[in-house]
Amino acid sequence: MKAICWYSCGDASAVASKIALKKYKCRIIYCDTGSEHEDNKRFLTDCEKWLDQKIEIHKNEKYIDIWDVFKKTRYLVGIHGARCTTELKKSVRNKIQDLDAVQVFGFTVEEIDRAERFKKNNPEVKSYFPLIENDLNKADCHAIIQNANIQIPQMYKLGYRNNNCIGCPKGQSGYWNKIRNDFPDIFLKMAELERELNVAINKTYAGDGQRKRIFLDELPEDMGDYPKEPDISCGLSCGVIINDL
């Protein structure tokens, strides 16, 4: 049976693709957002060698990167999610996906709830979650990649839990204070864009407990705790396995 592996330049999606290749004839597809760390190009090339297969790169030609999406749509993030994810990943996936093929996603065991929600919201998709099936978590995926003598992506080395675009609008206060330290130009760019669109993506609570939005240029440098904040989801979630792969 044929399958499509949705590769994201994260190590979880790479391991999911490796497992799926043992079971299916796969296309491995990467949706390029134009806003990820430069090191992802190196990681993708290393993964192609490990998987022994070319990774297809697809892009929404209407937009250069996430900033182009924000500018053209005048929208950052809301109750329906982030516009960048919709335009640069979901719309690309919808054009490419073959509903007759199995769709392979890199959700880990920490993301079982996300996988269940995906199946519920996309009943037409023949979804396969090889990491959950093999009881693999994010740490396992890191170990598998390192065991294959592949350096993990730079964003992981910098302490980020996901290898998403640099400056994700779904990030909370701790995440944005880390971006302020690691990528000050990106922090400033988003702060200026918030003011231009009159939209604040972070929130704080007043003395009366009422929630209010806070702009990045007002964000206290000690606000938030990134390690304790929820993972930023941007997609459509060992020992024996390590030795086998």
Domain containing residue 111: CATH number: 3.40.50.620
Among candidate residues 2, 11, 13, 8, the one with its CA nearest the CA of residue 130: 13
| Any domain includes 164 | no
Distance CA 105, CA 225 (A): 29
Distance CA 141, CA 229 (A): 21
Beta strand segments in 131-218, E: 202-205, 211-214
**14 in the same domain as 70:** yes
**128 in the same domain as 100:** yes
What's the CA angle centered on 79, arms 73 and 80, to 5 degrees? 60
Among candidate residues 163, 167, 165, the one with its CA nearest the CA of residue 175: 167
| Any domain includes 80 | yes
Which pLDDT value is given to residue 245?
54
Each residue's pLDDT, cut to its tens digit, for the chain (245 residues) gives 899 999 999 999 999 999 999 999 999 999 999 999 999 999 999 999 999 999 999 999 999 999 999 999 999 988 777 899 999 999 998 898 888 999 999 999 999 999 999 999 889 999 999 999 999 999 999 999 999 999 999 999 999 988 989 999 999 999 999 999 999 999 999 999 999 999 999 988 766 667 788 999 999 999 999 988 887 766 553 333 444 55
Which pLDDT value is given to residue 243?
45
| Any domain includes 165 | no
* Under 8 Å between Cβ of 132 and 112: yes
**7 in the same domain as 79:** yes
Query: Which range marks the domain in which residue 71 is found?
Result: 2-159+235-244
pTM for this one?
Answer: 0.89
**96 in the same domain as 22:** yes
**108 in the same domain as 9:** yes
Tokens describing residue 114? 């996300």
Which pLDDT value is given to residue 241?
45
Residue 65 β-bridge partners: none
> What is the total count of domains within the chain?
2
* Under 8 Å between Cβ of 216 and 187: yes
144-183: buried (b, 16+ CB within 10 Å) or exposed (e) per residue? bbeebebebbbbbeeebbbbbbbbbbbbbbbbbbbbbeeb
Pairing mode, strands 2-7 and 102-104? parallel
What end-to-end distance do the CA atoms of the chain give, in Å? 21
